[in-house]
């Protein structure tokens, strides 16, 4: 009598043999046990000379080519409100973004910035914010800002237009 554990081993070996034969592991049948032999199912032909499908091109949009909409930017800024406000002198988890455009990164007195942010030397121009808001960790590796970023260029331009009204 074959135990349950032995049956599982036989099935596992059969699956492994099938996988190996599908990968060109030999010319033996796909599944083979001591008791039975079953011919492998034919796999569909693969044209190894065909070029691999190319990944879609990433759209690069320059900030200067966009017109920001401050009203929509205020809505998009809702994602930022968990950590930031635009009230002057009010810091939360993140620093106040009141008057951020033109300010040096890491410069609000008394706010605990990451060393990466404080020592970045960046000045928050509209173009720099546009880049930063796409991928904060990529722009300033080591920043404490855990936000993944705003992937849509128009959303970033709109948030910047809104922040310009908050100075």
Q: Report pLDDT digits (tens) over 92-116.
A: 999 999 999 999 999 999 999 999 9
Residue 64 has what pLDDT? 73
Whether the CB-CB separation of 87 and 167 falls below 8 Å is answered with no
For the chain, which ranges sit under pLDDT 50? 4-44, 46-48, 50-52, 55-58
Q: Is 31 in the same domain as 71?
A: no
β-pair partners for 31: 38
Q: Coil, strand or helix: which one is 77?
A: helix
Nearest residue to 166 (alpha-carbon basis) of 104, 82, 103: 103
- Both 33 and 89 in one domain: the answer is no
* Contact status, residue 139 vs residue 104, Cβ threshold 8 Å: no
H or E element: which one contains 72?
Answer: helix 70-76
Cβ–Cβ under 8 Å, residues 155 and 129: no
Give the CATH number of the domain where residue 105 resides.
Answer: 1.10.760.10
Cα(55)–Cα(123) distance, integer angstroms: 34
Q: Which residues, 6 or more positions from 103, have their beta carbon under 8 angstroms from its beta carbon? A: 123, 124
User: In which domain, by residue range, is 13 found?
Assistant: 4-38
Shared domain check, 137 and 74: yes
Average pLDDT, the chain: 78
- Residues 29 and 73 grouped into a single domain: no
Answer whether 0.85 is exceeded by the pTM. Answer: no
């Amino acid at each position: 009598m074959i135990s349950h554990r032995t049956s599982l081993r036989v099935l596992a070996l059969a699956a492994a043999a099938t996988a190996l034969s599908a990968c060109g592991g030999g010319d033996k049948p796909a599944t083979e046990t001591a008791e039975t032999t079953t011919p492998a199912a034919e796999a569909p032909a693969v044209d190894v000379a065909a070029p691999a499908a190319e990944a879609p091109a990433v759209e690069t949009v320059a900030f200067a080519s966009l017109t920001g909409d401050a009203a929509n930017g205020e809505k998009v800024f809702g994602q930022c409100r968990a950590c930031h406000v635009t009230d002057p002198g009010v810091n939360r988890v993140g620093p106040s973004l009141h008057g951020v455009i033109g300010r040096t990164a890491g410069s609000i007195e008394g706010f605990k910035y990451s060393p990466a942010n404080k020592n970045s030397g960046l000045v928050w121009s509209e173009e720099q914010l546009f880049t930063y808001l796409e991928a904060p960790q990529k722009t300033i590796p080591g920043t404490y800002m855990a936000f993944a970023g705003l992937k849509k260029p128009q959303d970033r331009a709109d948030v910047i237009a809104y922040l310009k009204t908050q100075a």
